């Protein structure tokens, strides 16, 4: 199982409030205690510090270039300290967001900076998940879910509904371009129904 020979690397992606965190947790619970559940930005001590710089404060706090560097720096630390060692030990790693988020949030939505995102990824990260679940849903409903739990981490969510629509389209375009890796999941269903769908697709992928 998995193309890397050791461990399986799974990411969850989608717009804010789509239910990624909920589904990442439910899959980790279903796959057992040896599974590593992690998130971005964050997932290691250093990357969690960088997360605070990224998600708090005014939307225009960083230039697009600085923001890409910060997300990439956080991902590099997450990879070195958490993801890499766990995969080398043969574990299943489930991350709530990974590089597709940067491709879409920084590369497609805020400015036409996708080439910079791709070059930095190739230079500093260089790996893709074995399997990505894109939790897709209508941005208006997702935004309602997100705003219901305001957390002080709203720098991106404050960017509004049009932004979320652009993000959704960006994620779906990635899924269309890489159908072998990215599975689109309808997130507008009860959490346990979505979770059962994801578990079934994971099991099918393992035996494929």
Which residues of this protein are in contact with ligand TYD, per CB under 6 A? 16, 21, 40-41, 55, 71, 96-97, 101-102, 105-106, 146, 156-157
166 binds, among ligand ADP, ligand TYD, none (CB under 5 to 8 A by kind): none
For residue 201, the tally of other CB atoms under 10 A from its CB is 14
Nearer residue to ligand ADP within complex by CB, 17 or 43:
17
Peptide bond into 41 cis (omega under 30): yes
Considering the complex, state which of residue 126 and residue 149 has its C-beta at the smaller distance from ligand ADP: 149
Taking CB under 6 A as the binding criterion, the range among 57-65, 83-91, 118-126, 143-151 that sits at the site for ligand ADP is 143-151
Residue 149 touching ligand ADP (CB under 6 A): yes
Identify what 102 binds: ligand ADP, ligand TYD, none; CB under 5 to 8 Å per kind.
Answer: ligand TYD
Tokens of 42: 């964050």
Q: Of 51-59, 60-68, 122-130, 140-148, which segment contacts ligand ADP by CB under 6 A? A: 140-148
> Where does residue 160 fall: left (phi above 0), alpha (psi -120 to 50 degrees), or beta otherwise?
left
CB of 111 to ligand ADP, least distance (A): 23
Phi, psi (deg, nearest 5) at residue 9: -115, 115
Among ligand TYD, ligand ADP, none, what binds residue 191 when CB lies within 5 to 8 Å by partner kind? ligand ADP
Interface with ligand ADP includes 17 (CB under 6 A)? yes
Query: Three-state SS for 198?
Result: helix
Which of 14/43 has CB closer to ligand ADP? 14
CA distances from 6 to 1, 11, 129, 153, 159 (A): 8, 16, 13, 35, 39
What would the DSSP string read from start to end of 76-132? HHHIIIIIHHHHHTT-EEEEES-HHHHHHIIIIISSS-HHHHHHHHHHHT----SEE
List C-alpha distances in Å: 66 to 60, 62, 106, 174.
11, 6, 11, 23
Of the candidates 144, 125, 130, 124, the residue with the CA atom closest to the CA atom of residue 16: 144
Cβ closest to ligand ADP, residue 34 vs residue 186: 186
43 binds, among ligand TYD, ligand ADP, none (CB under 5 to 8 A by kind): none
Where do contacts with ligand ADP occur on this chain (CB under 6 A)? 14, 16-22, 145-146, 148-149, 190-191, 194
């Amino acid at each position: 199982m998995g193309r890397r020979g050791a461990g399986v690397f799974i990411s969850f992606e989608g717009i804010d409030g789509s239910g990624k965190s909920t589904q990442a947790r439910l899959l980790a619970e279903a796959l057992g205690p040896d599974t590593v559940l992690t998130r971005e930005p964050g997932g290691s001590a250093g990357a969690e510090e960088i997360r605070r710089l990224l998600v708090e404060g005014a939307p225009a706090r960083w230039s697009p270039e600085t923001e890409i560097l910060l997300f990439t720096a956080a991902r590099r630390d997450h990879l070195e300290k958490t993801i890499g060692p766990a995969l080398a030990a043969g574990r299943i790693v489930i991350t709530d967001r990974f590089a597709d988020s940067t491709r879409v949030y920084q590369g497609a939505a805020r400015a036409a900076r996708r080439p910079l995102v791709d070059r930095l990824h190739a230079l500093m990260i260089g790996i893709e998940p074995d399997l990505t679940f894109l939790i897709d849903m209508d941005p208006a409903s997702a935004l309602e879910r997100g705003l219901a739990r305001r957390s002080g981490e709203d720098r991106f969510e404050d960017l509004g509904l049009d932004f979320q629509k652009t993000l959704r389209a960006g994620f779906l375009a990635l899924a269309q371009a890489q159908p072998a890796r990215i599975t689109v999941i309808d997130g507008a269903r009860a959490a346990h129904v979505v979770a059962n769908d994801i578990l079934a697709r994971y099991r099918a992928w393992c035996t494929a």
